Amino acid sequence: MTALDLSSPVAVVGTGTMGQGIAQVALVAGHPVRLYDTAPGRARQAADAIGARLDRLVEKERLTGADRDAARARLLPAETLAELADCALVVEAVLERLDVKQDLFRELEGIVDDDCLLATNTSSLSVTAIGGALRTPGRFVGLHFFNPAPLLPLVEVVSGFATDVSSATRAYETARAWGKTPVACADTPGFIVNRIARPFYAEAFAVYEAQGADPATIDAVLRESGGFRMGAFELTDLIGQDVNESVTRSVWQSFFQDVRFTPSLAQRRLVESGRLGHKTGHGWYDHRDGAERPEPDTAEKRKPPAYVVAEGDLGPASGLLELIREAGIPVRDDGDDEDQGACLLLPSGGRLVLADGQTAGEYRDFVYFDLALDYRAAGRIALSASQDTSPQVLAEAIGLFQALGKRVSVIGDVPGMIVARTVARIIDLAHDAVAKGVATEEDIDTAMRLGVNYPLGPFEWSRRLGRTWAYVLLDDLHRRDPSGRYAPSLALYRHAHASDKREGTAS
């Protein structure tokens, strides 16, 4: 099944920001486009707004004047749904209420031809449930664009339980013909992006609720160590705390209140207080004119250790050894202390260990350091120590990373720290999604890179960190928090314990 022919009219119902964006995408691709909104005059206003954006594209030399004029001629506001009768595709972008969407598609089904593709842009409702109101749900599909639709490339093509393969394929190919990057997924709460992205917010909020660090510090660690474009607190202020919390709550409820998706009480209080982020002037941060942005906690300058002793394989952090040597600090590899796993032994006798889901308080003079996307490029490293950790040990650990040119943030004794627990949980949800037929590994990686600008897709992270890394960290976390929130999925367990050896077969 191929993409819709460019001569085929496309309709968009609902002319808010998303509806206008989708209409612009179809229009610039070359389709005749009809706009409809229940509010009188709204479709005409939306057409004018799209026309103004086309003018700006011409000014930026991204569109020729002739193409703009042709696109404007193809854009028609509709006063009634009946004017959409000859459309080959109708995309809905109306209020996120199941009854409203079902009523709309019931009415459309009596107007358009039987081969017209019907699509919803819902981000939180079940595609299956919306399509269940139709006589022919096989032609119904989810086309989830990301805002702003003309700029962001990702489109999640969602197959409901009754969606025909031919309908999903036609929607997929049409999105690709429009210059988008489509990914195919099953109808599951949150689809791909909003399902797998939950830990990015949840773990940041959990560290904050445990008084492990303040929002500015957590955000800085996620950006400067984890490689994420924005931290969780600043990103949710941009999205809107009410919007982000609503998506989290929807996914949680849709999964029958699965503890892995539990919403944040701190975020709930923020929403209840009316501090919704940029749109109200205050969220996690104060965005009012003249307000000062809080600085992340950064340790004062400390003297680096005279040497370090490398014990065991540091795995994802093995690149630190080269950085330490480049900084002029001798690295010895002949330590003969009792083996407590891979670590850097400090002159004071303390051990510097990559975050593994355990707490520093369980051991004598342990200092944990967080995961980094790239230890050479990282501008900041988080350290975690207990109240009983020797001040000298902590000072040497701080001084070591400062000698490598890193800013250092010391957080509370939080198992899994910040980046490590976040990445481990994202990897776990991704493996679980593949095992349950939600999407392929490739589509999940694509969706997370393009949909939320992650530096790596979950499976790219997994391959880089090693087969067992996420499982071991989450298993250790689960032992310390047996609520089930951190229990590794069966899919991750199987991945971690799969043998790379092929069994011989008898002839």
E strand or H helix that includes residue 22: helix 17-29
The residue type at 401:
F
The encoded tokens of residue 274 equal: 């009316």
Pairing mode of beta strands 140-145, 154-159: antiparallel
Those residues with Cβ within 8 angstroms of residue 108's Cβ, 6 or more apart along the chain or in another chain:
13, 81, 84, 90, 118
The encoded tokens of residue 353 equal: 């260990």
CA 380 and chain centroid, separation: 22
Listing DSSP states for 329-376 in one string gives --EE----SPP-SSEEE-TTS-EEEE--S--GGGSTTEEEE---S-TT
Which letter, b or e, does each residue of 134-149 get, where b requires 16 or more Cβ atoms within 10 Å of its Cβ?
A: beebebbbbbbbbeeb
Q: Would residue 396 show up in a list of annotated catalytic residues for this protein?
A: no
Query: In 255-340, which ranges are continuous DSSP H helix?
Result: 265-272, 320-326
- Residue in 109, 121, 123, 234 annotated catalytic: 123
- What is the C-alpha separation between 65 and 59, in angstroms, rounded? 9
Q: Would residue 244 show up in a list of annotated catalytic residues for this protein?
A: no
- Residue in 126, 159, 167, 194 annotated catalytic: 194
Residue with tokens 């047996």: 482
DSSP 8-state secondary structure symbol assigned to residue 499 = -
Q: Would residue 144 show up in a list of annotated catalytic residues for this protein?
A: yes
- Residue in 109, 156, 224, 245 annotated catalytic: 156
Whether 81 contacts 107, CB under 8 Å: yes
Q: Would residue 156 show up in a list of annotated catalytic residues for this protein?
A: yes
Query: What amino acid positions are annotated as catalytic residues?
Result: 123, 144, 156, 194
